[in-house]
Amino acid sequence: MSGRSAASRRTVLRGMALTPVAGLGLTACGGGEERPSRPTGPVELGAESEVARGSSKLYWDHNVVVSRDEDGSFTAYSTLCTHASCPINQLKGTKLICPCHGSEFDATTGKVLREPAVAPLIPLSVEVRNGTIVAKPQT
């Protein structure tokens, strides 16, 4: 007789009963939903006047943050966290805070202020057309 005991009928049936439940849990975590993405083409964000000099504005519905320097020039970044691609939904002053793992970024430079993210935010091109801020991928 080997040192291994045979699985009881109860253990086998319990494992069979839990397998579909585990599969549903994995499906719920990993699929079906559309993942947020950064702009793939030009996106009209809002009026130029929405971003005051020396401040930033989060356009969460487009995953973009726009900052305006004191000289009036604009910068823009994708607000998908570079750690796990979570959409950043909080802006305090010029600090972006990721809700997933607490990474923080400077909205004016895209630089990481707090890990776990280590890569800066992805910069976007930004311009003003007829008084409207437009962001797009850099070329």
pLDDT tops 70 at residue 9: no
Bridge partners (DSSP) listed for residue 74? 68
Report the range of poorest mean pLDDT among 9-13, 14-18, 76-80, 122-126.
14-18
What's the pLDDT at 15? Answer: 54
Contact indicator for 78, 120 with CB cutoff of 8 Å: no
pLDDT > 90: what percent of the chain? 70
Q: Collapsing DSSP states into helix, strand and coil, what is residue 92?
A: strand
Q: How confident is the model at residue 5 (pLDDT cuts 50, 70, 90)?
A: low
**If you search the block for the tokens 């823009």, which residue do you land on?**
76
84-106 per-position pLDDT tens digit = 999 999 999 999 999 999 999 99
What's the pLDDT at 38? Answer: 76
User: What is the pTM assigned to this prediction?
Assistant: 0.75
Checking phi first, is residue 12 left (phi over 0); if not, alpha (psi -120 to 50) or beta? Answer: alpha
What's the pLDDT at 37? Answer: 79
pLDDT > 70: what percent of the chain? 74
Q: How many CB atoms neighbour CB 79 within 10 A?
A: 28
